[in-house]
Amino acid sequence: MDDLQIATSRTWAEINLANLEHNFKILKSLLNPGAKFLAVCKADAYGHGVIACAKKLQACGADWIAVASVVEGVELRENGITLPILCLGQANPELASLMCEHEITQAVGDFENGKALSDYARLVGKKIKIHVKIDTGMSRTGFYWPESDSDKASTAAEIKNLCELPGLEAEGLFTHFAAADEDENFTRLQLKKFLDAKNTLAALGLAFKISHAAASVGVLNYPEAHLDIGRFGLVLYGYASTDTGNEGSTLGLKPVMKVKSKITAVRKLPTGTTISYGRTFTLKRDSVIAVLPIGYADGLPRVLSNEFSVKIHNSLCPILGRICMDMCMADVTDLEGVKPGDVATIFDEDLIPLAAKNSGTIIHEIVCSPSPRVPRVFIE
């Protein structure tokens, strides 16, 4: 067997790089003139396979790549990514040597973290580029931007002290919207606070080369928030909604991932038979059951037991009983000719939003869910 036959012998994720390029071109066209394109490739490119996706995005003309950790950035550097890389997560200062070695720009959200990076950079005689994070309402990381003028002055002074530390190059200033797809008033308030912070710092002589605020839906809904960079995450991979449906389809975006699985067995079982662990489903008729080699260890959430369907022969087939670690069962009674080796579609543009809805989560989590043992098969 060749590598492709092995990869598609059980369960695999099919990643359409042509669709990724298609989405890139659409999103690029929506950016304000002069704004740069930052492609977010954290979490293995949202489960899509970071190396292949980052290489494709670099070839398409992305200006920046973003990751969540320094280690993710190192992996990209070691695999030929030469674009500027921004680490969005606040990093352990012990990784400062890797930032220097691999030229990874680091987000910094408090003085102590920046001071530790400065100490290392000064020790080795190098510079670490940083983007200063302003907390305008996400309440996660960043310098909290206050309401009163006196508190603003104190926070601005602390940021100024950070940016003047030796060994640091304060290249950028940024924030992150908390509810860009849900709360317009709060999003505009966040943007107002960020611009206030930017202007206050400018009055102190801090003129950042780059400022950015909007990601994915924020870029789509708030052109005034594009600033110098638009950050594109989930929308790159085909979805502009975080919970229900695919609002990105109105833009012509194409989902990049499909997860498929080959039927391992087809079984005829009589009325009254119970299915899987806990016997949570009882057959109400004589039935034909397809056994699929995919379970919660592959990324099919167990909470979808008895609450989800897969596609077999282009028909929706309900999952019966509890999803196991490595397998699940689907009802194919009403289909003709289903046999071992037939391919079932587990996730696609219809089923990913359905899986998110029925499991009470967001699309982000579903596309990130296929585990490392699910091979990524890349197609153009």
Alpha helix locations (H) across 133-183?
Answer: 149-163
The token duo for 181 is: 């797809």
Angstrom distance (rounded) from CA 190 to CA 193 = 5
Whether 193 is catalytic:
no
Q: 277 an active-site residue? A: yes
**Two tokens, residue 174:** 């940024």
322 token code pair: 């509890």
Residue 302: DSSP 8-state: G
| Ramachandran assignment for 74, one of left (phi > 0), alpha (psi -120 to 50 degrees), beta (any other) | alpha
d(CA 102, CA 116): 18
E strand or H helix at 355: helix 351-358
Provide the Cα torsion 224, 227, 229, 235; round to 10°.
-10
Catalytic residue among 25, 42, 55, 268: 42
Rounded Cα distance between 293 and 325, Å, is 9
Write the CA distances from 104 to 122, 175, 234, integer angstroms.
Answer: 16, 19, 22
38 CA to centre of own chain? 13
Q: At CA 235, angle to CA 248 and CA 82, rounded to 5? A: 155
Of 25, 192, 277, 339, the active-site residue reads 277
Q: Do 82 and 36 contact (CB within 8 A), yes or no?
A: no
Who's near 104: CB < 8 A, 6+ residues apart?
A: 70, 73, 74, 77, 85, 86, 87, 98
Write out the catalytic residue numbers: 42, 277
